[in-house]
Chain A
Amino acid sequence: MSSSRHGTRGNAPILAKLLLFLTCLTLTTGLSAETLEATLAQLAERSFKVKLEAVESIATSEDGRALSILEALAAGELYTWKGVPRVVIGRKSGRTMHLLDPLTGQALGEGRAKKIILNNAMRVALRGAIAARTLSSPDPAARLGAAREMLGDTSPAATKALATQLEREQDAEVRAAITLALAIARLGAQEADTRLAAVTALEASLYPEARNALLPLAEADPDPAVKAAATKTLEDIDQLLAWNARAETLFFGLSLGSVLVLAAIGLAITFGVMGVINMAHGELIMLGAYTTYLVQSALPGWIDYSLVLAIPAAFIVSGLFGIAIERTVIRFLYGRPLETLLATFGISLILQQLVRTFISAQNVVVQNPSWMSGSWQINPALALTYNRLYILIFALLVFAALLVILRRTALGLEVRAVSQNRAMARAMGVRSERVDALTFGLGAGIAGVAGVALSQLTNVGPNMGQAYIIDSFMVVVFGGVGNLWGTLVGGMTLGIANKVMEPWAGAVLAKILVLIFIILFIQKRPRGLFPQRGRAAEG
């Protein structure tokens, strides 16, 4: 009984569909009912060989009810009735087993039944047969799924089903999928011409099944023309795949770069514009991530929207912390960067411990909204995950917003004035203390916003800030202190460099190499990629 319990679990919807289907069919019971019944009885045999033959014969049967029987068999719903030599559909409720006639759907009452056991060969045959039958379904999405399922299936039955469907298929997408599946199937044809046509049809196909099917032909096809064509097509496919792989690496690099830029861009303000070494920057990122967690916890039913709400919330939380840090500690340390480094490092320890004490020492779970999951399938060999894509776009938006704030607003003007010449700015009536606090708050708030984005990619825990602080400093120093564009270019360059090296060096070694590269780069250009020019750069 334990095996039957296993088989019926969770199949209620399939069963309901099946029943509906069967009731329709009972009206049109055809001539072949007897033959179908005979083959059905074969399924009760012990021998897998006999059962496989039965599956194949049902698969090729003209009878319209064959699909439902195959589906029931694949779903593990077909049983043999104990004592009665008959195959039935079994439906368990509680401890009793309700039996139905597989051909008519009639209830046969309760009884004891034994599940029909499948082996792998049968499962493969069933999958192919069901796909071939679904190919003529009225639903285009079902037909497309069936055609994709049949990629690489070279059985004559499959080829026949595909060819038949191709003649009457209207939907362009399904046609393309069927053509592809058919071409792969025909690669195994007897006639050289058919094979050659199939090879031509597979030109530039990025499906791995197409490549796998072409391989033996390119290696040892008896016909030289086919062999040459297959080799050429294979080379073209490999080249295309290589380009796709490069595009993927580039995307991963840009994605890592966007994370680095997000993490570093707040620092580009506090360190780059104000000259403050803020070792608590990573913890401000962490606070942003925790704000996301708290917003999600406060609005449990709104996962899809709470992430958007978390962005301003994190900006405010981290920004206020930043202003508090500036007012209580940093303002006493201007002009003493090394002391600032130590004091802010102390603050980072305190913030970490605050989170550990008041929230949890363990990592917390931040959920991904539904629109962040899944991926954008550009072609069979290239898919971009939405979360990385959105974060890349988000990083660019944050960068643009910051650029606008610094270049186009009154605050931005004052920030630049104070950073270039504090005394002169004060003489012109700029309240430099207020500007300092706001600038630091802005940098901290941006760190919080970065934390919202990072919470979607990595673990959120008390230590997460430490993972970013060194990278962030590297990006700012590499890009050039005091230059936002430098941070963008620097972050993206380091991200891509990391991902390009990763395949042959491994993730850790790639990171080490990037660090060594930066150390050497600083020797050559101590002021980074885009050094600040003018008087402000001296000193």
Chain B
Amino acid sequence: MIIRAMKDDTGGQILLAVLLAAVLLVPILSLAVPDSSPLHLSTYTVTLLGKYLCYALLAVAVDLVWGYLGILSLGHGAFFALGGYAMGMYLMRQIGDRGVYGDPVLPDFMVFLDWKELPWFWQGFDMFWFAALMALLAPGVLAYLFGYLAFRSRVTGVYLSIITQALTYALMLAFFRNEMGFGGNNGLTDFKDLLGFDLQSDATRAGLFVASALALGLGYLACRIIVTSRLGRVTVAIRDAESRTRFIGYRVEQIKAAIFTFSAMLAGLAGALYVPQVGIINPSEFSPINSIEIVIWVAVGGRATLYGAAVGALMVNYGKSLFTAVFPDAWLFALGGLFVLVTLLLPRGLTGLLRQRSAG
């Protein structure tokens, strides 16, 4: 199945090969090579790379629904943040009595708000498996409910984009409220350790990098298996002629809801891996702007290729790091220009350009 999925996917093969090389090399370069060597990777770089990989996974998730299902979701930033919050809650509980107020159970912000006991929705987050499950289930269930309602009512195209954006915006406003019990404005931070490993140590960072790379690789494979399967062909049919597919007899709503839910869970997974690496999750992750930015990563890389989405995410974010360091003011000009130029001149993205070259 895997072999069939990857057979005609040169870009994907290269991507997976690079990921495999990174999984093997990065920990060695970071941990075994001495600091003085030019080949040594600093913890900062490892974390940055790990962060990019999470973004790449998120972009692959968006490409699955946008490229193959025709849904321009502006809600994936929210699914990503929900996964991040689930992981953040686990990390918060792991702090235990090492917080500023030293309460063994309540996180600092709850003590600060004078709460006496843990709210019901925080129960269970002291167990890793539960938090990991929630990082997938919370975005998944939300996406299923939302998708089921929207697809059943045949809300499509621009309308769907706008209501996914409304959903993201509503979630952002909700998470900003202190009463919600997710740390309000400040979000969740000051994490100490994950499964007993110190989050500040180089080895943990390298481990998180490896986990992100594996998640991206597996997520990519899973998406690839879906799009090369029979289900994938129906998905593309829905994208290109929804009514016709429905009239042939396919349950369009069900298929859309299923793919949308799977994609949201991938986004949640990316968020869960992202949070321990950056060390904070706050409501600004829900900001509608983030969701639109993800779409542009996909567009830059090349829509409906999957590997293009990953490449786009890596490139745009590398560019962002570079730009914001050198010309901080010019970054928005560059990003804005990228949006305009890619949509006008590169409808198939950079990988599309490469394919054209090699074909012609």
For residue B337, CB closer than 8 A to chain A, the reply is yes
For residue B17, CB closer than 8 A to chain A, the reply is no
Closest A residue, CB atoms, query B287: A466
- Which of B296, B329, B342, B343 is the most central at the interface, judged by chain A CB atoms within 10 Å of its CB? B343
Closest B residue, CB atoms, query A507: B173
Contacts known (A277-B158, A337-B158); A508 close to B336, Cβ less than 8 A: no
B159→A526 contact, CB < 8 A: yes
* B154 cross-chain contacts in A, Cβ below 8 A: 526
Contacts known (A346-B337, A470-B288); A337 close to B343, Cβ less than 8 A: no
* A519 cross-chain contacts in B, Cβ below 8 A: 146, 163, 166-167, 170
A333→B344 contact, CB < 8 A: yes
| A343–chain B nearest beta-carbon distance, Å | 4
CA distance A466 to B168 in the complex (A): 14
Contact with A along B332-344 (1 / 0, CB 8 A): 1101111110111
| Chain B stretch 112-168: residues in CB contact (< 8 A) with chain A | 146, 149-150, 152-155, 157-159, 161-163, 165-167
* A337 cross-chain contacts in B, Cβ below 8 A: 157-158
For residue B299, CB closer than 8 A to chain A, the reply is yes
CB < 8 Å: which of B163, B166, B169, B292 contacts A345? Answer: B292
B166→A349 contact, CB < 8 A: no
B176→A523 contact, CB < 8 A: no
CA distance A349 to B332 in the complex (A): 6
For residue B60, CB closer than 8 A to chain A, the reply is no
A523→B177 contact, CB < 8 A: no
B153→A333 contact, CB < 8 A: no
For residue B289, CB closer than 8 A to chain A, the reply is yes
A356→B173 contact, CB < 8 A: no
* B288 cross-chain contacts in A, Cβ below 8 A: 470
Interface residues of chain A: helix, strand, loop or mixed (majority)? helix
Stretch with Cβ within 8 A of B (4 or more), from A136-144, A211-219, A423-431, A510-518:
A510-518
| A14–chain B nearest beta-carbon distance, Å | 49
| A504–chain B nearest beta-carbon distance, Å | 14
| Chain A stretch 76-104: residues in CB contact (< 8 A) with chain B | none
CA distance A340 to B342 in the complex (A): 11
- Which of B170, B176, B329 is the most central at the interface, judged by chain A CB atoms within 10 Å of its CB? B170
A523→B153 contact, CB < 8 A: yes
| B312–chain A nearest beta-carbon distance, Å | 13
Closest A residue, CB atoms, query B340: A346
CA distance A339 to B173 in the complex (A): 27
For residue B174, CB closer than 8 A to chain A, the reply is yes
* A347 cross-chain contacts in B, Cβ below 8 A: 336, 339-340
For residue B295, CB closer than 8 A to chain A, the reply is yes
B335→A349 contact, CB < 8 A: yes
B333→A350 contact, CB < 8 A: yes
Contacts known (A353-B329, A356-B329); A512 close to B170, Cβ less than 8 A: yes
CA distance A339 to B303 in the complex (A): 12
For residue B72, CB closer than 8 A to chain A, the reply is yes
A352→B332 contact, CB < 8 A: yes
| A356–chain B nearest beta-carbon distance, Å | 7
B153→A524 contact, CB < 8 A: yes
CB < 8 Å: which of A349, A473, A509, A523 contacts B155? Answer: A523
Contacts known (A332-B344, A474-B166, A523-B149); A346 close to B336, Cβ less than 8 A: yes
| A340–chain B nearest beta-carbon distance, Å | 8
CA distance A511 to B176 in the complex (A): 13
For residue A119, CB closer than 8 A to chain B, the reply is no
CA distance A482 to B10 in the complex (A): 46
A353→B162 contact, CB < 8 A: no
A512→B173 contact, CB < 8 A: yes
CA distance A99 to B86 in the complex (A): 76
Contacts known (A518-B166, A523-B155); A346 close to B295, Cβ less than 8 A: no
A342→B173 contact, CB < 8 A: no
A350→B157 contact, CB < 8 A: no
Contact with B along A516-535 (1 / 0, CB 8 A): 10111011101000000000
Contact with B along A324-344 (1 / 0, CB 8 A): 000001001100011111110
Residues of A within 8 A of B (CB): 277, 279, 329, 332-333, 337-343, 345-350, 352-353, 356-357, 466, 470, 473-474, 477, 508-509, 511-512, 515-516, 518-520, 522-524, 526
Residue contacts A-B, CB under 8 angstroms, 28 given: A338-B158, A340-B343, A341-B72, A342-B339, A343-B339, A345-B292, A346-B338, A347-B339, A348-B336, A349-B332, A349-B335, A349-B336, A353-B333, A353-B336, A357-B329, A470-B165, A474-B166, A508-B173, A511-B170, A512-B170, A515-B167, A515-B169, A519-B146, A519-B163, A519-B167, A522-B150, A522-B159, A526-B159
